[in-house]
Amino acid sequence: MSMHPIVAELVTEMKKACATFDDPDEIVATVALAAKSLAENKSWLRPEYFECDEEQGMGITILNEEPDHSILVETVAWLPGRGVAPHDHQTWGVVVGIDGVEVNINWRRLDDGSNPDFAELETAEERQIRNGDVVPLLPDDIHSVRNEGETTSLSLHVYGRALSSLERYEFDPINKIRRVCPQRKRRD
């Protein structure tokens, strides 16, 4: 499947931002503007982007991943009532709401990180993400997502590195546990 021109333009802008800036904050700010345009012009959307794997509660479709595992662009569809536990990404990222409503929770880590299996978290911010809303993510940011709506929601996710190529972490805030994040099923 060939890449839609608007997605190709986003990939080009992501590469330019990475070549121009070293600071993830500057990359995220630049990429966020380019990614947000895909919420306005939905000509790139396909019905299959809304398909979900019932077992994992979501469907992930890769739109672009560079051969060196950089510059990942994907859609994530969330089934109603489903989501993921708090997790990090170990790379910068930008999430843009495309269709439906997702609840995004940013978490604050309270411990010093010295025990690799322990993590004490508290909620820092909770907000609803709708079409065109942007969630910037830095490598150590921790967030969780859930769809509290009645229909499948869809968001665009872009990252500096392919998540499948990184050791990322998932958190259990009740039991104060940090563990390796499970690999999610993705399709091209």
Q: What is the pLDDT along the chain (188 residues), one digit of tens a residue?
A: 578 999 999 999 999 999 999 999 999 999 999 999 999 999 999 999 999 999 999 999 999 999 999 999 999 999 999 999 999 999 999 999 999 999 999 999 999 999 999 999 999 999 999 999 999 999 999 999 999 999 999 999 999 999 999 999 999 999 999 999 988 888 88
Whether the Cβ atoms of residue 162 and residue 69 lie closer than 8 Å to each other: yes
The pLDDT score that the predictor gives to residue 1 is 56
Whether the Cβ atoms of residue 65 and residue 162 lie closer than 8 Å to each other: yes
Order of all β-strands in the sheet with 134-137 = 58-64, 70-78, 153-161, 93-99, 134-137
Any idea which residue has 């794997």 for tokens?
53
The pLDDT score that the predictor gives to residue 58 is 97
Q: What CATH number should be reported for the domain whose range is 5-180? A: 2.60.120.10
| Partner residues linked to 137 by β-bridges | 93
Q: Which helix (H) or strand (E) holds 137?
A: strand 134-137
